[in-house]
Copies of this chain bind each other. A is one copy, B any other.
Amino acid sequence: MNNRPDLQANQCSENHDDSPVTAILSLEKAQRMAEFFGVLGDPNRWRILSALAMGEHRVRDLAAAVDMSESAVSHQLRILRTMRLVSYRKRGRNVFYCLKDDHIFNLYREASEHLDEPPEVE
């Protein structure tokens, strides 16, 4: 799936290509995409990410901020870690988490734009 300008989007227009439809995404790539976006498919993980958008924070403070148990937050941070969305540094018995890169911001913005678009009238 690329971004060629000739791709049809936004309204269904006739397609005169009779060749069989082929899914361009391989099963493996589709699986990887789904796993990644699936991680973003939980409201508590978004709240954790949004708290980390303010700067790094300890697990216990994150738990207080999103009103979850430390255990639950730790489980979620583990998932975010495996998807490389957050990184951390240890300092004594505290562990400080922060966002790993800017991709999460861009994804957030793109999704927001989509969700904020008004539903069409017909």
Copies of this chain present in the complex amount to 2
For A, the interface residue count at a CB cutoff of 8 angstroms equals 77
B114 touches A23 (CB 8 A): no
Of the candidates A23, A35, A53, A62, the one having the most CB atoms from chain B within 10 angstroms of its own CB is A23
Partner of A111, one of B14, B17, B36, B87: B36
Nearest CB of B to A50, in Å: 4
B98 touches A21 (CB 8 A): no
A62 touches B1 (CB 8 A): no
A→B interface (CB under 8 Å) = 1-3, 7-15, 17, 20-25, 27, 29-51, 53-57, 61-62, 64-66, 84, 87-89, 96-103, 105-111, 113-115, 117, 119
